[in-house]
Structures are given as structure tokens and as C-alpha cells.
Homo-oligomer: A and B are copies of this chain.
């Protein structure tokens, strides 16, 4: 599927950029940037492939890792120019979240997994790389903080599952579901949407 492959490469590049930028912020050097960019870009898909019993995609197609290295080179060379690039990064990241969610859902359904398992695997594919990135950098993963991130992924996975069940062709369902995840993530970022949160009682902290 040409569209899916294009989105996959775009998501890989975007997540690699986010990993490289995180490394710069944590004052890591060039190889820290490379390691963090690569694990961010391939982390989610690797978890997905291991779960369904496939060899990780980057062992058979070297383009993914080369693309991540390209992203590091771009960040290294263009860092001073992208001072207003935060917005661009969030757009890229949102597209990557959408693409990886849909690819994960598609792969799970190919292996005969039901709705709940498909949603869980799609969500893990979408957010896994960013989780590893944040944990390695010593942060609490963004997906656990007060933002619509995993929820956009879950919504898109359910939508893709329904569309495929209804017999909608992948040429339509893939871009639609990817677009919905991306749009929900971006709209919620713009308006600062969040979900309800419990107040921890005093003295209840570990």
C-alpha cells in the first residue's frame, strides 16, 4: 500500500526528529541523539512486530533506520533555523501517531485479533516509541500526562476496526483513520483539552 508506506516513513522521520530534539534538550551528544532518535522511531513498531510474532520491520527494511539517521542529520544541521519549529514538530508527531496507530491496527487484524486486542496493539504501536524516548531521557512519558494522546490513538483504532468490518477499502480507511487521529490530537493541543483527574489525598503519596 503506497499511502501506508508513505505515512510510515513520514511517521518514522517525525518520531526520529522528536527523539533527536529531546536528546539536544537533555544535553546529549551526537551519538545520544542517534540512539534516542532511532529507538523513538522504531520502538513502537518493534513492540507491535514482536507481539504478533514477526521479525521487526527494521531487520528487513534498512530504510527506516537510515531515515532516522537522516532526521538526526537534519536536526544537527538545521537546529538553529527551526526556532519556530515546535509547531511543525507537533504536526509531524501527530501524523506519526496516526500512521503508526493505523499500521498497528491493520497488522493486528491481519493476524485475526479481536477489537480489544486490536485497539491495545494499535495504541501500543502509536505511543510505544515516545514512551521509550521519554523513559530513557528520564521523563514521565507524555502519554501519561494530562493530554489527549493515547485517547486519539484509541479512537482512531476503533474507527479503523469499524471501517474494515464494514468493508471499506484500505485506500479510504487508512487515510481517514490516520487523519482522525492526527486531527483529534492537533485540535486538543490547540484548545488544551484534557480529561478529568482525581485529586490525590494528602498523605497518600508514596
Chain B residues, Cβ within 8 Å of A59:
51-52, 108, 111, 113, 117, 121
Q: Is the CB of A117 within 8 A of B58?
A: yes
In the complex, how many angstroms separate the beta carbon of A112 from the nearest chain B beta carbon? 9
| A35 part of interface (Cβ distance < 8 Å) | yes
Q: Is the CB of B62 within 8 A of A25?
A: no
Chain B residues, Cβ within 8 Å of A123:
35
For A37-61 the 0/1 string (1 means CB < 8 A from B) is 0100000001000111101101110
Q: Is the CB of A31 within 8 A of B195?
A: yes
Chain A interfacial residues counted at CB < 8 A: 67
In the complex, how many angstroms separate the beta carbon of A154 from the nearest chain B beta carbon? 8
In the complex, how many angstroms separate the beta carbon of A143 from the nearest chain B beta carbon? 6
In the complex, how many angstroms separate the beta carbon of A101 from the nearest chain B beta carbon? 14
- Determine the residue in chain B with the shortest Cβ distance to A66: B116
Chain B residues, Cβ within 8 Å of A143:
31-32, 35
> Per a CB cutoff under 8 Å, which of B26, B29, B55, B115 touches A194?
B29
Report Cα–Cα, A179/B196, bound state, in Å: 38
Report Cα–Cα, A51/B150, bound state, in Å: 26
Given contacts A29-B146, A51-B59, A76-B198, 13 further A-B contacts (CB under 8 A): A25-B206, A27-B197, A29-B196, A30-B196, A30-B197, A31-B143, A31-B150, A32-B143, A36-B144, A59-B117, A79-B198, A131-B136, A138-B140
Q: Report 12 cross-chain contacts, Cβ distance below 8 Å, ordered by A residue.
A: A24-B200, A27-B200, A29-B197, A31-B151, A32-B144, A32-B146, A36-B144, A38-B120, A51-B59, A59-B111, A62-B116, A65-B117
